[in-house]
Structure 1
Amino acid sequence: MHAQHTALHNELHARPPIYFEGPACLHHYAFTLEGDDVTTLLNRLAELTEVAVTPDQVQQIVSCQGCLVKWERHTEFFTLTIKHDNNSNPRIWPTPPTFLARLLADVADKIISASVLRVETANRWAGSVEAYGLDQPTGSQVGGGDATVWSDFNLDDQQRNRLLMVNDNLDSYRLGRMARRLFDIETYRIMAMLALPEAKALSSELQHYETELSALSHQHAEQHTSPAEPLLNALTLLSAKLERCGVQTRQRFSATDAYANIVLARINELREERIGNYPRLGMFILRRFEPAVRYCDAMNRRVETLATSATRLNDLLRTRTQVEIERQNYKILQSLDARASSQLKIQKAVEGLSIIVISYYIFSLMKLGLESLRALGVDIEPNVAASVIAPLSALIIAILTWRIWKVKKH
């Protein structure tokens, strides 16, 4: 078997929900904790529950003082779910068990999502959603009509979102999965919304970059004769700023897209049906959640579009600069060609003068030789001297010309 066969197969059983019978009350918290902070929180939780935690665990369900406690590690956050019976606390919306109060207080500033789910049976609930203090509630029949879920999506005095589930025909397994879906919707919805403040802050910054890019584009289109270097430097700086924006926001926007898909999937899994004139939970969430997600996606695409436009303009400027360089090189080559042609003409003139000088020198030497012979008493006829000197001189000049040509060719 492959070394990771067992681990990959067991992913099918990873992160099981808490299976329970109603009535009950569940508290769910999500913390923006990572690394050593999660380890510290788990060590405190292990001290409370007296159950050890191994480093490679990603989730665990333990019992403590009559409650079920489940924790889970996630990529960006950590979740904690506590389940206890309604009978153990007379309040409609009870607080978490006392043994967890200090644990939650120590990491209160890291709680990104807090929800409380009260599960009642159809034969013992109050009969009216208003009796549970929900103001202008939304509600849906879920699980094919086997349960009803209510919420007003308003935070209580403990900053928790309250959910009421009236169970008609869900067994413990379906009830646990339904509670898990509701908590997933709340947790991933809040995590997806983390990108919204960044998107709003990014909007004004991108407006400035768009104005700057528009000015550079206009300058490039209108000033073809001006030097390209200042424009290229400004555009390079703008491209660096846009790339910085992309690097800073890409991970957050990608996470938002992934979390939003999970929220949509969990809402579809509820299989909602309308209750009277009450708005459905999923419709209420999506009506306000989807525009925020689309806005974040629009900001992400806006950054990519600006970066692409800046890259195209940068390419045009570099092409323009390259054309200018090629034009300058062409002029330089033309100048070099003209200079080489002039040098060739001068060289030919020098070669001709050299042959004339050498010929004159040869004739002078021959004349001097004839005069020397005449002084020694050797009288040579002019016709004889001419018939000897002329071919000899022509041969010498031909040899010199051939040598010059051979050297030049080499």
Structure 2
Amino acid sequence: MNDLSFPRAPGWRFHPDRDRLIAEAHARPYTPMPVPAIATRIATLSGQDAAADDRAHMAALCRKYGAAVPADDAKWCALDAGVWQLRWERHTEFSTWTFFRSAQRAHPFLETATEQVPADWLAGLPGEVLVATTLEIRSREGAPSPLGMLGGDAIGAQLLDGAVTIYTDCRPDALGMTRFLGLDSSNDPGLCGRVARSLLEIETYRMMALLAFPLAGEATGEVALIEREAAELAAQLAQEADADADRRLLARLAELAGEAEQLNARTSFRFNAATAYYRIVLDRIAGLREVRIEGLQTLGEFMERRLGPAMRTCDTVAERERDVIARIARTEQMLNTRVEVAAEATSAALLASMDRRSDQQLRLQRTVEGLSVVAMTYYAVGLLGYVFKALHDRVPQLDPAVATALSVPLVLGVAWLALRRVRETMLRD
């Protein structure tokens, strides 16, 4: 009986995504490549919503060879067809189909790893082919001169302290394939596999990064038009204008801001993706630890001279888009401030006018009240005069004229108090 005891899990509650996150770190391992070996990678741009189509295409090939099909949420799958192998990997917006087999011919650049793959299945790959590259790794001993095959545009470097020497020109051949030739000195299939994975990723992400360059060319003209009009509108802001002109200017600024935001929304994903892809290219090149071959430029130098300027162009266009959006926003804010100040001045003038009207109405109201008191007193005293005349017949001592005269102050006071009470009641309500 084995007395060894193993520690048990202490009853932890693991995060539901823990296994998936661990698996992600191991989802894209390298494939060992015993020399002589050949790898062909096809990268198809199928879009962010086409993962199911790519997975179904891989599943169809797996069923054809009696292999397990990928799961519904799988992002990679490997197939061993005997004389050749395939590794499918799904990325954000594209899939890579990487085929491996032993090199059959003595001379490089005469074959691909897809020659025994069913042609109808290969022709039906979902999406558009953006990357088609073949990498051959052969023993350094007895290998023909790669410079004679590549010509004056050859790129080459010693990798990983001279374990592998790589040559390419990054140009497509008659089949549309870019070609890499690696001469191995390590006799280590694992090391060759790691080098192959890095080189294939460099070529894949180089092309994915360059997808943004044509878009940058198209966006440059649109950005220039928006910048020009934004400058003209800013110049109009410096001029004196009435409220109607300011409102028209503000409406046009809002339209221009919408156009700039629409352009940014159309290009931001591609520019941001290009930046991410370019960083991956630089990281993979740095990991290869290139050593220069006399007379040849290294992969790093080639990318700096050919890919770097394109990426800086994309970064510049993206920065111009962000800058013009910010400038329009500042102009719009300043115009809004001017419109608000003008509106406040108009409101102040309106309030002053209303105050003057209210004062006039108050004086008029008091005048009307005084006249009303006089009118009420006049009519009340007139009525009292009739009363006094009637009383005179019974009280001869009562002089109607004197009594009427004496009643005027009393009636006037009563009328004034009555109107004041009515006004106070109305104000209180």
Common fold by TM > 0.5: yes
Give the direction of change, closer, same or farther, for the CA distance of 1:284–1:360 in structure 2 (3 Å limit): same
Give the direction of change, closer, same or farther, for the CA distance of 1:365–1:76 in structure 2 (3 Å limit): same
| Aligned residues of 1:134 and 1:151 also touching (Cα < 8 A) | no
Give the direction of change, closer, same or farther, for the CA distance of 1:292–1:159 in structure 2 (3 Å limit): same
Q: Which residue of 2 aligns with 1:168?
A: 185
Percent sequence identity is 30
SS of alignment partner, residue 157 of structure 2: strand
1:352 aligns with 2:370: yes
- Structure 1: how far apart are the matches of 2:205 and 2:175? 20
- Structure 2: how far apart are the matches of 1:20 and 1:269? 19
Per-residue deviation at 1:394? Answer: 6.5
Cα RMSD (Å) of the superposition? Answer: 2.5
SS of alignment partner, residue 154 of structure 1: strand
Deviations 1:122-174 (A, max 9, x none): 33423x22354454312111112222111122221111111111111262222
- Structure 1: how far apart are the matches of 2:152 and 2:17? 51
- Structure 1: how far apart are the matches of 2:267 and 2:408? 96
Deviations 1:253-290 (A, max 9, x none): 11101101111110100111112232112211221111
Q: Which residue of 1 aligns with 2:7?
A: none
- Structure 2: how far apart are the matches of 1:233 and 1:274? 59
Give the direction of change, closer, same or farther, for the CA distance of 1:32–1:383 in structure 2 (3 Å limit): closer
SS of alignment partner, residue 297 of structure 2: coil
Deviations 1:288-315 (A, max 9, x none): 1111011011111111111111122222
Within a 5 Å distance, the mapping from 1:11-410 to structure 2 comes to 11-33=24-46, 34-54=50-70, 55-86=72-103, 88-93=104-109, 94-95=111-112, 96-107=114-125, 110-126=128-144, 128-169=145-186, 171-225=188-242, 227-380=245-398, 389=407, 392-393=410-411, 396-397=414-415, 399-400=417-418, 402-404=420-422, 406-407=424-425, 409-410=427-428
1:9 aligns with 2:22: yes
With normalisation by structure 2, the TM-score equals 0.87
Per-residue deviation at 1:13? Answer: 1.3
Give the direction of change, closer, same or farther, for the CA distance of 1:393–1:267 in structure 2 (3 Å limit): same
Alignment length (residue pairs): 408
AA aligned to 1:325 is A
Per-residue deviation at 1:364? Answer: 2.8
Q: Which runs of 5+ in 2 are unaligned?
A: 1-13
With normalisation by structure 1, the TM-score equals 0.91
- Structure 2: how far apart are the matches of 1:317 and 1:377? 86
| Aligned residues of 2:374 and 2:412 also touching (Cα < 8 A) | no
SS of alignment partner, residue 53 of structure 1: coil
- Structure 1: how far apart are the matches of 2:186 and 2:107? 25
Deviations 1:41-62 (A, max 9, x none): 2134224433132222222222
Q: Which runs of 5+ in 1 are unaligned?
A: none
